[in-house]
Every structure is written in structure tokens, then in C-alpha cells.
Amino acid sequence: MTEPEELHRLARQVEGQGDFRTAIELYEQAYAALRARGETRLPALIAGRWISFLYAAVHGNQAACNGWLERARRLCAQAGDCPELGWVRLAEALTTDDSAVKARHAAEAREIAERFGDTDLGFLAMAYAGTALVMDGRVPDGMRLIDEAATAATNGEVADYVTSGEIYCKVLLCCELALDVRRAGQWMEVAEAFARRTGYLPVSAICRMYYGGILIAAGRWGEAEAQLTRSAALYADGYAAMRSGAVVRLADLRVRQGRLEEAELLLEGLEHDSYAVRPLAALHLARGRPELAATVLRRSPGPLPAPCTALLVEAELAMGAQAVAPTGALSPHLSYAAGLVTGELAHFERALAAAVSAGLPLEEGRIRLAIARTLAVREPKVAAAEACRALETFTTLGAALHRSEAAALLRELGLTPPTGRRGGGRLTEREKEVLALVAEGLSNDEIARRLFISKRTAEHHVGNILAKLGLSTRAEAVAHALREGLGW
């Protein structure tokens, strides 16, 4: 008969290999065997840290998740003062989007870790505490804790690789929340070095999802699509109940690209996902439905993040309502919103400096366009220069609707917008991948299945490839691919 400790070890091994349903069965067998021996502490850890999460992430079964968490709490109470309670508290923190509740659980876990000398628990609790601060808008304080926890994960102070991976995921989540593109890139370099050194790759479906959101903000849209598509595929094979997070981020990308029909299809039925608020509101606004955009934003629980606050201001102004200019510590989005309300150039200038510093190209382009509109009457030459810069940014990104807005303003200023091809004729990494599949003779349907994308997206990629390369047919594309060494 297999000992329960061995069952626990096997469960963790199988989970690491991505076979989550088998892992649940093994964890439950280990739990039952340990309870039959009258043990409380290890069963509490298994119930609270592993089984509860897997029921929620794999099956979307919140009732079972709650039930296992409650068993873990009760077993900890029976065991008395024990470090396992700290892990249970972090499991509870994971189930809430309330930053105050998350902070309270993380604080208790940190105190327990310090009392028992549990280093892994302490640094993971630190990462959770930092996340709660970032969610609450206290970004510098939160990032200090996040950076420290990630450093401990990198330098070997955190012994368990799964815990290190969870810390790295918290880093990427906070960078996405704060739109801190540069910090995310720096920590990804560290994580890659960690992976080469240890052989453990801490970039899961969850981390890829957060990193995809960061790449969207950074304007690296081809890479973002690749990360999010891969994340959605990994979720489908594992944490299936969490897949919506990757899909709504893809929808956010589609809205920015101006591919509104695709965004609408992706968002259908996923309004419950907390990240869906922004792309859904932006979609309504782009469709000329500011009332619906404002409703979506106002219904969102908790304080709105800066990008959503700016969207609400835009919606209110589009409705002809009285909008209030944001005040206090201003981000690029809030300074931009303040400029929209007041019409004061100084707000836009502050927003532009912040967007350039943060590496947010779409925001930079939109702010330049706002500056151009503000200066159109009194300084038309400066306005034209700013509109041209915005047009260039939107063209490079592939932000079709914003590009049309910039072109329209240039025409109002008496200028003919340049008609250069998007992206300067250079294929993105995903377009190169699609071109290689075209060269293999795959149809759009087959390409869509191979890359886990929709047929419409495959068609869009093929159209972009033909346009960028100045080709007319798929046969010409195949010939080009063979000349460049793609395909067979």
C-alpha cells in the first residue's frame, strides 16, 4: 500500500506535469490516508493549498473549493498553533478581489511565517501583501514588497520552485495592474536566467496571461497575441475555469486594433471576468454607445483603476454629461482625462511625459492627438506635427480606428495623410508563423486550428501578409516564403 506521503509527493509531481485531474485524485487519496491516521497538519495543507485551488481552477467548482478551504481551517483549529494556517490564509487571499481582505490574510500569513521560521511562506505572503497594496493604488509601496519577494525567489532563499513561480506570477500581475512595462521586462530577464540555471520554467498559463497584458500596453501586439493565444491553449488543457482571463485580454487587444466584431465575439459570455470591464467599456465607446460604457464602468466593484477612470470620463463627455477632472497623484490616463475635462494643455503635456516615460505607445499617440485637437485653431502647424506623430504611432501599432481619427484631423488641417503601409512592410513574428503555414499548403481553417485562433483571425493575418509584402495571391506568398527559407 502506498504511503500517504508518497501519494502527496506523486500528486505534486503530476501537477507539475500539467495532469491536474489526476493530481486532484492523488491529493484526495493522500488526504484521506492521512486523516485515517488521525493527522491534521499535512491534511490541512493539502486541503487548503492544493485541492481547494485545483477545484476552482480546473473545474470552476467554487462550492468544492470553499468546502476544502473550510476543512483546512477546521483542521488547523484542531492542530492548534501551526504554520499550515499561514498557507490556508494565502489560499483565502487568492479567492478574493477585495484588496483589504487580501491584505489582512497576507499580514496574518507573514506573522505566522515569522513565528515558525517558514521562509517560503514568508516571501510568498510578502508578494501577496505587495499585490494588495498595488490593487489599492499604493503602487510604490506594493512594488517594494514585490521586488523583494522576487529577489528572494531568484537568489535561492525560496526553496520550493512552485512557490518561486507563484511569486513571479504576482510580479507580472502587479506590473500589469500598474502598467509598469519596464519593470516587467527586467523581471522577465531574471526569470529566464533562473529557468536556465534551475531547469524550472516559472512561466505558466497564468504568467503568460499577465505578460500578454503587459505586452499589449507596451505596444508589442504581435508578441502579446502569441502569449495570450498560448495561455488560452494551456488553460484549456489545464486550469480550464480560468481561461476567460486570457480571452478577455485578447478582446482588449482586438479593441485597440479596431477589430470590434472579433472583440465582441470574444467577450460574449465573459462579462463576469473582472478584467473584462475595460475592453467591454472601450468596445461600447468605440461603437458609439457611451451610456453602456458608463454603465459597465460604474457597476464595477471597488475603486476603478486609472485606465477605467479615464474611460468613464470619455463616456461621460460623449454623453454630454458633467465629468469631474481627476486629481491627486496622476497617471498618464488620469492626466489625460483631466485634460479632456478642462481643455488645459498642461494636463496633456504631463500625460504625454508620463506615457513616454512608462513606455505606453498607444496612450502616447492618443495624448498627442488630443494635443493636436487642442492646438488646431491657434497653432495649426504644431497641431499638424503632433497629429502626424500620432498617425505614425497608430500606423506602426496597427490601431486602425485611432489611425482614422488622426487622418481625419490632418485633413481638417488641410493636409493629406500619408498612406504608408502598416508596420513598414515588416512582418510580425506571428505573421511569419502564419506565412510558414501558408507555405505548407494549409488553408485558413487549418491555420486557425493549428494556432488556436479563429478563422477570421487567420484570414486577417493572411491579408496583412499579402498587403505588407505587396503580393496578390497565396501562391505568390508561398514562393516568397520558400525564397526566405520559411515553410518546407
CA distances from 475 to 12, 21, 42, 180, 470 (A): 50, 45, 62, 43, 13
Q: What is the mean pLDDT of residues 252-279?
A: 92
For the cut 90, the answer to whether the pLDDT of residue 460 exceeds it is no
pLDDT band of 316, cuts 50, 70, 90: very high
pLDDT band of 280, cuts 50, 70, 90: very high
For the cut 90, the answer to whether the pLDDT of residue 441 exceeds it is no
pLDDT of 241: 84
Residues 6+ apart with CB under 8 A from 468: 421, 422, 423, 425, 426, 427, 431
**CB contact at 8 A, 420 and 402:** no
For the cut 80, the answer to whether the pLDDT of residue 475 exceeds it is no
For the cut 90, the answer to whether the pLDDT of residue 311 exceeds it is yes
Q: Dihedral of the CA atoms 382, 311, 317, 302 (nearest 10)?
A: -140
- pTM, 2 dp: 0.79
Nearest one of 223, 228, 221 to 246, comparing CA atoms: 228
